[in-house]
């Protein structure tokens, strides 16, 4: 099973999100073709209600403890349903790679 699939399964089981997107952004970086090193994760669940951003991220990091040890970067976008609606279902694009020739 790929790291991306593992991340998806673990987050789905932990939060039963209204929306979940796990994007493998490794192709944007100077790494071997089969690498899985950079991910952008969007999790929308009302389990984040009344939690500040750092606590939301800590919850996700705890669920993905083993996977975080295997990757280089994890961009997290954690929202409640209301916040997701206010943003019209959009998250910011990841910045371009600053090194490694990409």
* pLDDT (tens digit per residue) in 28-60: 777 777 778 789 999 999 999 999 999 999 999
pLDDT above 70: residue 99: no
User: How much is the mean pLDDT over the chain?
Assistant: 90
The percentage of residues in the chain with a pLDDT greater than 90, rounded to a whole number, is 65
Rounded to whole angstroms, the Cα distance separating 15 from 26 reads 25
pLDDT of residue 100: 56
Domains of the chain with bracketed CATH:
3-86 (3.30.300.90)
The structure's pTM equals 0.87
**Angle (CA) 57 97 78, round 5°:** 20
């Amino acid at each position: 099973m790929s790291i991306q699939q593992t991340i998806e399964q673990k987050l789905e089981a932990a939060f039963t999100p209204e929306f979940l997107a796990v994007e493998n952004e490794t192709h944007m970086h100077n790494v071997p073709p089969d690498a899985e090193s950079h991910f952008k994760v969007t999790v929308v669940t009302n389990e984040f209600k009344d939690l500040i951003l750092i606590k939301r991220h800590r919850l996700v990091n705890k669920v993905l403890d083993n996977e975080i040890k295997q990757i280089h970067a994890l961009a997290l976008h954690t929202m409640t349903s209301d916040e997701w609606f206010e943003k019209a279902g959009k998250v910011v694009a990841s910045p371009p790679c600053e090194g490694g020739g990409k």
